[in-house]
Chain A
Amino acid sequence: MIKNGNKNWWIKWDNAARTFDLMNRGIELRYGEKKREWFSRSYGRTLLVAVGTGLDLEYFRSGQQVVAIDISEKMLGKAQEKEASCKAAVELVRADVQMLGFSDSSFDSAVTSCTFCSVPDPVQGLKEIRRVMKPGGTLLMFEHVRSDIFWMGPMMDLMTGLSRKFGPDLNRRTRENIRKAGFRLTREVNVYLDMVKLFEAVKPV
């Protein structure tokens, strides 16, 4: 499913796999219920992009068919441990969201959770999700983005130089990227300031 190994950008995520659960425990404690509620609107065959260590798998319902992808083999290894306790039928696949190997219109919905802070070309990644989704399909996202607060945005730009070396970019303009990728943005919710957001977008029919 990895079509070319261009820049090995996933290596930092392999390195992060060991401490990922610990570092993200606070996010799950605080926003877990919000994510459960938001992701409960996914339906049919669902693509979960960047499953990580599988922290989000518990948010899917029993009987739901989830194809969960990640770029990092070590993350997928950890996710496999959580797969057994998950209610949904999960298939774990190693894949790069920028070059998905799935056929066109093969998913009813897609879910991302703190994913597009890390994808090198977010618009390309979103375009690929759009391609594999059926027309009218729903994309549900929980993402942290660049703040529009006049002093915080430039601060986040500055800090991204450092944060990118170990983990995510802090200054992604995800709202704009969703539109650039050809989705119709239907809902946007501020979860914390204007930095942590929920997005709902639809692939136009």
Chain B
Amino acid sequence: MKILFKILDYLSAVFMGTGTFILVSLIVDKDWSMFTAMIAGMAIGMGVLVLSLLLFSSFSAAFEIFPVGMVITMPVGMAAGMLTAGDSPDFVFMVSVCAVFSVCAQLGFDLYNMKIKGEVPVDKER
């Protein structure tokens, strides 16, 4: 069961990363200014995050989707907006980059979680 949850975590991360890039490249036009495209990309990224929370909540904990999703969707949205407005990046290559970035982000969270999960000394004020 734990392995299944982990697979789902990585799938939802890839969904958020690639989904954000695909949506931004569909919506943002070449004629847009770099700044507008960046802001629009971020907003689209947030939209994808909310959609993912709704889609995956029934089999994945929202607590776990949310922080990873923030790290993935906002920078991917910003970068995708700027790239789309500035140039026409190779679509397949960029989707692959987003997928790899998403997997790396999820892995980073998993490793950090392994480090800090468990008992916390109660007298320790942080």
CA–CA, A189 and B122, complex, Å: 9
Do A193 and B60 touch (CB < 8 A)?
no
Our count of residue pairs bridging A and B at CB distance below 8 angstroms stands at 69
- A120 to chain B minimum Cβ distance, whole angstroms, is 21
**Stretch binding the partner chain, chosen from A2-10, A25-33, A40-48, A51-59:** A25-33
CA–CA, A84 and B119, complex, Å: 35
CA–CA, A137 and B63, complex, Å: 29
CA–CA, A152 and B112, complex, Å: 13
Do B119 and A192 touch (CB < 8 A)?
no
CA–CA, A30 and B126, complex, Å: 27
Do A185 and B67 touch (CB < 8 A)?
no
Interface presence of A148 (CB below 8 A): yes
Interface presence of A187 (CB below 8 A): yes
Do A25 and B116 touch (CB < 8 A)?
no
Question: How many residues on the A side are at the interface (Cβ–Cβ under 8 A)?
Answer: 28
Do A196 and B63 touch (CB < 8 A)?
yes
Interface presence of A11 (CB below 8 A): no
Do A192 and B117 touch (CB < 8 A)?
yes
Do A189 and B64 touch (CB < 8 A)?
no
Interface presence of A130 (CB below 8 A): no
A197 / chain B contacts, CB cutoff of 8 Å: 120
- A113 to chain B minimum Cβ distance, whole angstroms, is 13
Do B112 and A193 touch (CB < 8 A)?
yes
Do B119 and A193 touch (CB < 8 A)?
no
Do B58 and A185 touch (CB < 8 A)?
no
A185 / chain B contacts, CB cutoff of 8 Å: 122
Given contact pairs A192-B64, A193-B109, A193-B116, A187 touches B122 in the complex (Cβ within 8 A): yes
- A143 to chain B minimum Cβ distance, whole angstroms, is 11
Q: Which residues of A contact B (CB under 8 A)?
A: 22-27, 29-31, 144, 147-148, 152, 155, 170, 185-197
Counting from the closest, the 9 A-B pairs by CB-CB distance are A188-B120, A25-B58, A26-B60, A30-B61, A190-B117, A26-B61, A27-B61, A23-B57, A185-B122
